[in-house]
């Protein structure tokens, strides 16, 4: 009996030690400041691939994730459906959209679209994915469930990217060959008008209440703030050298603007429309997306082949992710 009790104590002690060892981080593999809790993806122009940032944060070992997903040539933009089931990414060189299972990385489809697709945006209900066909002057509307195009809409010269209104009824498309924004009715699937912007509008985002567009313009090198109901520009804010990424944080507090020819992220107070800080991140920042809770932002820094993690409370870089060569654009679940 005494020997049996001693054996049981020995077994319990051994199990406790094993549990502690499994829970402890391995020396030299401390988890980097990264996409903890945020399901996010990035296009890798230098590798013709898409990478899930959560897998990078977990050293590529997250269950169900491939570290990098093979894609097409000249991968540019990426978006995901609101449920986080399907990821779409554009191949500008192949005139195609690649669709993946957001968790396994399995390629679901390669969808032909118009010439030189750039921006891709999944609507807020997860019904359509909209590709901006820059070389064709059109947008291609893709059925998310069936993974095939349902309509091509002529919008104007060099459409580059788009954003949905909060009620999902209206799509705003930057026309980089002009100084205008195309307005598309998403119920009728047709262009219904235009709004003014700066010269060569590149990327765009919208305020959470749907009353303002923030448009980063390549040729005029500024951020135009557009009053949507008034159909007018209310302010022009000078920016670092283009071309640009832009993101309004989900809480509506900040507008974050990158400039790929520079080294900074310009932080604009969305209420006062004043620049509050320029955060240095290294050469070539382009894609930028805040987390859904508004606590941090991810910036694709092309020249460093890294993604910077910015604490939006402190407005400073607090970590880095190394997803692969030339990270270009990002999508974060809840803010794609």
Range from 48-62, 66-80, 246-260, 275-289 carrying the lowest mean pLDDT: 48-62
125-141 pLDDT, tens digit per residue, is: 999 999 999 999 999 99
58 in a domain, yes or no? yes
Assign 34 a pLDDT band (cuts: 50, 70, 90). very low
pLDDT at 59 over 80: no
Does 150 map to a domain? Answer: yes
Confirm whether 15 is domain-assigned: no
Name the pLDDT band for 52 (thresholds 50, 70, 90): very high
C-alpha distances (whole Å) from 270 to each of 51, 212, 243, 253 are: 31, 10, 21, 5
308 inside domain: yes
pLDDT bucket at 36, cuts 50 / 70 / 90: low
pLDDT at 15: 35
Of residues 279 and 19, the one with the higher pLDDT is 279
pLDDT digits (tens, 9 = 90+) for 88-113: 999 999 999 999 999 999 999 999 99
Phi, psi of 21 (to 5 degrees): -65, -40
Lowest-pLDDT range of 53-67, 69-83, 271-285, 321-335: 53-67
| Residue 191 covered by a domain | yes
d(CA 211, CA 196): 14
Q: How do residues 242-280 score in pLDDT, each as one tens digit?
A: 999 999 999 999 999 999 999 999 999 999 999 999 999
pLDDT value at position 53? 87
3-state secondary structure 27-63: CCCCCCCCCCCCCEEEEECCCCEEEEHHHHHCCCCCC
- Work out how many domains the chain is built from and give that number: 1
pLDDT, tens only, 195-248: 999 999 999 999 999 999 999 999 999 999 999 999 999 999 999 999 999 999
Residue 10 lies inside a defined structural domain of this protein:
no
- Tally Cβ neighbours within 10 Å of residue 332: 24
Say if 166 falls within a structural domain.
yes
Portion of the chain with pLDDT greater than 70, in percent: 85
How far apart, in whole angstroms, are the C-alpha atoms of residue 223 and residue 174? 13
**67 confidence band (pLDDT: 50, 70, 90):** confident
Q: Residue 216 belongs to what domain range?
A: 39-332
Residue 88 is given by DSSP the state: E
- Distance CA(92)–CA(134), nearest Å, equals 9
Kindly report the CATH number assigned to the domain that includes residue 108.
2.130.10.10
**In a domain? residue 31:** no
Q: Please give the pLDDT value at position 336.
A: 84
> HSE (CB half, 13 Å, CA atoms) of 136?
19
Above 60 in pLDDT, residue 61? no
Cα separations (Å) of 252 from 121, 130, 140, 283, 331?
20, 24, 29, 27, 18
């Amino acid at each position: 009996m005494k020997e049996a009790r001693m054996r049981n104590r020995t077994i319990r002690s051994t199990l406790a030690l094993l549990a502690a060892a499994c829970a402890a981080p391995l020396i030299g593999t401390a988890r980097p400041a990264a996409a903890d809790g945020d399901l996010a993806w990035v296009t890798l122009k230098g590798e013709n691939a898409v990478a899930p940032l959560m897998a990078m944060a977990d050293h590529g070992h997250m269950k169900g994730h491939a570290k990098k997903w093979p894609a097409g040539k000249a991968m540019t933009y990426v978006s995901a459906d609101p449920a986080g089931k399907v990821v779409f990414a554009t191949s500008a060189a192949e005139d195609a959209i690649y669709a993946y299972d957001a968790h396994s990385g399995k390629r679901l489809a390669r969808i032909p679209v118009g010439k030189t697709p750039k921006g891709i945006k999944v609507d807020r209900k997860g019904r359509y994915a909209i590709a901006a066909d820059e070389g064709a002057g059109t947008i291609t509307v893709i059925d998310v469930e069936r993974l095939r195009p349902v309509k091509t809409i002529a919008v104007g010269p060099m459409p580059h990217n788009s954003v949905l209104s909060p009620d999902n009824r209206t799509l705003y498309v930057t026309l980089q060959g002009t100084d205008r924004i195309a307005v598309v009715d998403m119920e009728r699937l047709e262009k219904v008008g235009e709004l003014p912007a700066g010269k060569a509008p590149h990327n765009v985002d919208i305020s959470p209440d749907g009353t303002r567009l923030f448009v980063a313009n390549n040729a005029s090198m500024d951020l135009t703030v557009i009053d949507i109901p008034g159909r007018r520009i209310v302010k022009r804010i000078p920016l670092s050298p283009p071309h640009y990424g832009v993101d309004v944080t989900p809480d509506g507090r900040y507008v974050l603007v990158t400039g790929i020819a520079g080294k900074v992220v310009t932080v604009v107070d969305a209420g006062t429309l004043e620049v509050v800080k320029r955060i240095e991140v290294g050469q070539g920042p382009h894609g930028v997306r805040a987390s859904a809770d508004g606590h941090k932002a991810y910036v694709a820094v092309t020249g460093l082949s890294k993604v910077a993690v910015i604490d939006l409370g402190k407005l400073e870089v607090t970590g880095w992710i190394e997803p692969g060569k030339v990270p270009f654009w990002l999508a974060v679940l809840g803010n794609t």
